[in-house]
Amino acid sequence: MVMFNNFNFSKLKEGLTKTRDKIVNTITETISGKAVIDDKTLDEIEEILITSDIGYDTATNIIERTKISLKSDKDRSGLNILGTVKKELISIFDYMQIDGEEEKINKSKPYIILVVGINGVGKTTTIGKLAHNYKKAGLKVIIGSADTFRAAANEQLDIWAQRAGVEIMQKKQGTDPSSVAFDTIRKAIKEKYDIVLIDTAGRLHNKSYLMEELSKIKRVINKVLPNAPNETFLVLDGNTGQNALVQATEFSKVTDITGLIVTKLDGTAKGGVVFQISAKQKIPVKYIGIGEGIDDLQTFNPEQFVKAIFDI
Ligand SMILES: Nc1nc2c(ncn2[C@@H]2O[C@H](COP(=O)(O)OP(=O)(O)O)[C@@H](O)[C@H]2O)c(=O)[nH]1
Ligand SMILES: [Mg+2]
């Protein structure tokens, strides 16, 4: 069951232009004019993949598997090679299960979504977009503003809540974030909200501090709802390439991440990092951000993502 009607292939394709230039256009140049692709050319393709943000291990793995699958295939045309590489890239996401998100939400209302990630990755923007998507899907949404650290955070989130047309719970700057989370959830239970989105501050000066803050939020949430949060989404900025991978690794150590959201894939050549993070972390990629607008969040679909990158 598709929860959101937020997919637009041409917009996705446009957003991934630089990534496509970096990965596919160079591969296409390498294979063009060659009737048969030999192993030397495959090694060149491997190098292109390595220098894109797909990462060394993932790239060598893909080419190895491509070589194996081509052994039983007489067709060594460029087109077939590209098709095989595409298939291998899609298979990186095989670990992701079709979610049945709607059923999950229906089973545990209010459904609590905690959004974490370092400063500037796009948490607040993504919460605004998610709120809009859930609202459009007919759900009653409230946002809890647990980024009480920055003065401007409340105002920014308030603007997004208004855009999305959803409720928001805010407290003074400096309030304990977990008390905002607590009150938001209590209100959500009392007033029968379906979805609670909790924004957090992205202070990562040190791991133990982050762990403490996140685990306190969880502890406090658990007092109201034992199974909450139902989801913890980690937001990563696609623009940061390798660094996004490091963040995914670090956050996974301190909290149970149930899904990734990779933002700012528009206008970056580093979109290949989505493959690398998935291959390494095996955490489902739930959404991708391809712009600053309220409609610029798409549910991640492996086939369409690869197709959009390779569709020249
Ligand atoms: N181009 C682009 N910009 C984005 C996207 N997501 C967020 N941003 C921008 O990234 C900046 C930081 O976002 P914000 O939500 O404040 O990050 P936070 O600190 O994690 O809450 C803002 O200028 C957003 O407009 C995206 O998918 N594409
Ligand atoms: Mg924020």
Q: What would the two tokens of residue 171 be? A: 């407290």
pLDDT at 238: 96
Q: Does ligand 1 have an atom closer than 6 angstroms to the CB of 55?
A: no
- Ligand 1 near 237 CB (within 6 A): no
pLDDT score of 70: 85
Residue with the larger pLDDT of the pair 20 and 150: 20
Is the CB of residue 110 below 6 angstroms from any atom belonging to ligand 1?
A: no
**Mean predicted confidence (pLDDT) in 4-30:** 94
Lowest mean pLDDT among 93-107, 112-126, 149-163, 195-209: 195-209
Query: Which pTM was predicted?
Result: 0.96
Give the residue whose CA is nearest to atom 7 of ligand 1: 122
pLDDT tens track for 233-275: 999 999 999 999 999 999 998 889 999 999 999 989 999 999 9
**Strands 167-169, 141-146: pairing kind:** parallel
The confidence band for 167, taking pLDDT boundaries of 50, 70 and 90, is very high
Q: Per-residue confidence at 27, pLDDT binned at 50, 70, 90? A: very high
52 lines ligand 1 (CB under 6 A): no
| 183 CA → ligand 2 middle, Å | 19
Neighbour count for residue 260 (Cβ, 10 Å): 25
- Alpha carbons 256 and 306: distance in angstroms, whole number: 27
Q: What is the mean pLDDT of residues 290-305?
A: 97
The residues placing their C-beta within 5 Å of ligand 2, an ion, are: 123-124
In what order do the strands lie in the sheet containing 111-116? 167-169, 141-146, 195-200, 111-116, 231-237, 259-263, 285-289, 297-299
Q: Which percentage of the chain shows pLDDT scores above 70?
A: 98
